[in-house]
């Protein structure tokens, strides 16, 4: 037998180190504050931070990052990876109790925090999290050790990826917690590498990649880092998402690709200043993470062109279970625009019923997946892990139907399905009909307790600014298109729909809002 180390699989770190060794003088990152970073400079900074983390006493075992978008986040995250330290990201919009839960659940001993924004938060966590051994600050801080000053004195060394068992833990990602306490999703080296390979094989990248990052670097913002570097591209990092700032950056830097969630795209095309900026350089918008109504997607394509590429996945199978290419977005076919595409080459996908039987085309079934992209399990939750992979498939919780040509269309989350009068109602299908009304900007459909029906369909709707609409018009519209069972029993107009930390409509919060008061 050939020794295991001879057949050692490459990791994302191997891919990054190799990419940064080519044409070391080329620009690879423009920071949120205008910093310019070459490939050679990026590699040097990674090695400085790697050595810094390796030299801490006691050496960190697990670290968490709490920061807004700043270039040092790239140094920290990659420095931790190359030092072999498992890390997790704390969402920039979270609360102290949310962070405390993650620190305790993941056994975090090191907190890296952005002192410009999170000094008080870090102080509160230090007081309440006895397991924290190191508090390391980005920027000037009275609380944590200022890393930049200490790292500056470390000489860079060649960037070399360490040996890693592909089944060893790489990072821990936490779910949004919309159905209970957040789950710690164990991303293995195999998972991260497979995700990057799928991006390189299945995603449609421009010939010249100038990629804009406007989502949090700690989360989806940096999810394409490996692919961009391997493609020989560069990244421009914005402090966060702002429609005008995004359009200005696209024009100024001649951006060719960007990753957004649907709410960002809608905010862009609905903005009063849309049309003032030259966005013609943009070749592809990668979008995913939540549903995009066919009506609004068609409007986006009409305004920005046929540049939309969809990816569907979840933290348990990150980024790309299925994809829908740019030329597959048929604006004349609402069912196609409602699709999440077809399975990628490295995944096995089936639609299964509750008895684990594959359903026929056109019938709803849960999206279940197999393949090297899958997580290693839920941290500290063996029963939940066993449940989610029951029957030898990872159960995504998303219910979809398959068209004869293989496109999947998600109709609902399994836990969000509404059972009214003994009939199943899929909220996504009702939301798609509501989105067709020109005065409807956004909607979320939920089930609320009802003494007669068990659950009643309720639509929570955001109208276009200044609009007034009779709710009976929307109810009749759904009744005509989908029948009386799926027609909402009530419509509530609101200024905004609450979002989870990952930018999805927070239906758990809505159900609590409209639950009966005892």
Judge whether 140 and 146 are in contact, CB under 8 Å: yes
Look at residues 71, 177, 70 and name the one whose alpha carbon lies nearest to residue 118: 70
- What the block records as the tokens of 22 is 């080519």
80: Cβ–Cβ under 8 A, 6 or more apart, which residues? 49, 53, 60, 63, 87
| pLDDT, position 502 | 62
Decide: helix, strand or coil at residue 19: helix
The domains found in the chain, sorted by start residue, are: 4-22+38-187 (3.40.50.980), 241-414 (3.40.50.12780), 417-513 (3.30.300.30)
Backbone angles phi, psi at 465, to 5 degrees: -50, 130
Judge whether 176 and 502 are in contact, CB under 8 Å: yes
Distance CA 187, CA 197 (A): 15
Judge whether 502 and 219 are in contact, CB under 8 Å: yes
Q: Report the DSSP beta bridge partners of residue 86.
A: 62
106: Cβ–Cβ under 8 A, 6 or more apart, which residues? 62, 64, 88, 172, 184, 379
Q: How many CB atoms lie within 10 A of CB 451?
A: 7
* Burial (Cβ within 10 Å: 0-12, 13-18, ≥19) of residue 248: middle
Q: Which segments of 407-480 are extended strands (E)?
A: 408-413, 418-420, 423-425, 440-450, 454-463
Distance CA 215, CA 239 (A): 9
Distance CA 170, CA 164 (A): 9
Which residue numbers in the chain have pLDDT < 70?
Answer: 1, 176-180, 501-503, 517-518
DSSP string, 224-280: THHHHHHTT-EEEE-SS--HHHHHHHHHHHT--EEEE-HHHHHHHHHSTTTTSS--T
* Burial (Cβ within 10 Å: 0-12, 13-18, ≥19) of residue 242: middle
Here the contacts of 382-389 (C-beta below 8 Å, separation 24 or greater) are: 384/183, 388/316
Judge whether 13 and 164 are in contact, CB under 8 Å: yes
Distance CA 98, CA 178 (A): 12
Pairing outcome for strands 134-138 and 110-114? parallel
Distance CA 443, CA 459 (A): 7
Q: How many CB atoms lie within 10 A of CB 473?
A: 11
| pLDDT, position 197 | 97
| pLDDT, position 119 | 95
E strand or H helix that includes residue 398: strand 394-402
Distance CA 118, CA 323 (A): 37
């Amino acid at each position: 037998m050939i020794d295991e180390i001879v057949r050692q699989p490459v990791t994302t770190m191997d891919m990054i180190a190799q990419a940064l060794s080519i044409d070391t003088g080329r620009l690879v990152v423009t920071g949120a504050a205008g910093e310019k970073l070459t490939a050679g400079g990026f590699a040097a900074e990674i090695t400085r931070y790697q050595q810094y983390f390796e030299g801490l006493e006691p050496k960190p075992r697990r670290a968490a990052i709490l920061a807004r978008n700043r270039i040092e986040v790239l140094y920290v995250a990659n420095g931790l990876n190359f030092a072999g330290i498992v890390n997790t990201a704390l969402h920039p919009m979270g609360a102290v109790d949310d962070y405390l839960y993650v620190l305790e659940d993941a056994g975090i001993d090191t907190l890296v925090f952005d002192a410009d924004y999170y000094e008080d938060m870090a102080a509160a966590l230090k007081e309440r999290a006895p397991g924290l051994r190191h508090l390391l600050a980005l920027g000037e801080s009275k609380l944590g050790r200022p890393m930049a000053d200490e790292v500056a004195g470390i000489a860079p060394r060649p960037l070399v990826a360490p040996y890693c068992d592909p089944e060893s833990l790489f990072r821990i990602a936490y779910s949004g917690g919309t159905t209970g306490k957040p789950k710690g999703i164990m991303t293995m080296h195999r998972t991260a590498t497979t995700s990057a390979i799928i991006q390189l094989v299945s995603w449609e990248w421009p010939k010249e990649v100038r990629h804009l990052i406007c989502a949090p670097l700690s989360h989806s913002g940096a999810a394409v880092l490996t692919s961009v570097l391997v493609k020989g591209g560069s990244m421009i990092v914005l402090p966060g998402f702002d429609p005008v700032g995004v359009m200005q950056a696209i024009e100024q830097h001649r951006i060719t690709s960007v990753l957004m969630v649907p709410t960002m795209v809608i905010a862009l095309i609905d903005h009063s200043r849309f049309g003032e900026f030259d966005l013609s350089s943009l070749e592809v918008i990668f979008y995913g993470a939540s549903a995009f109504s066919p009506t609004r997607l068609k409007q986006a394509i009409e305004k920005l062109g046929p540049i939309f590429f969809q990816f569907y996945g979840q933290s348990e199978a990150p980024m790309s279970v299925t994809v829908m290419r740019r030329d597959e977005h048929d604006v004349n076919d609402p069912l196609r625009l409602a699709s999440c595409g077809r399975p990628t080459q490295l995944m096995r996908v089936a639609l299964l019923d509750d008895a684990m039987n594959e359903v026929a085309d056109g019938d709803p079934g849960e999206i279940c997946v197999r393949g090297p992209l899958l997580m290693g399990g839920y941290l500290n939750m063996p029963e939940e892990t066993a449940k989610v992979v029951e029957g030898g498939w990872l159960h995504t919780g998303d219910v979809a139907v398959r068209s004869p040509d293989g496109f999947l269309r998600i109709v609902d989350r399994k836990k969000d399905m509404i059972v009214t009068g003994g009939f199943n109602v899929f909220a996504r299908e009702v939301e798609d009909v509501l989105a067709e009304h020109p005065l409807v900007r956004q909607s979320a459909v939920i089930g609320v307790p009802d003494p007669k029906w068990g659950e009643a369909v309720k639509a929570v709707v955001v109208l276009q600014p200044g609009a007034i609409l009779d709710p009976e018009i929307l109810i009749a519209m759904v009744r005509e298109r989908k029948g009386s069972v799926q027609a909402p029993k009530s419509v509530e107009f609101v200024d905004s729909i609450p979002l989870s930390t990952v930018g999805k409509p927070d239906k758990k919060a809505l159900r609590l809002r409209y639950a009966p008061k005892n």
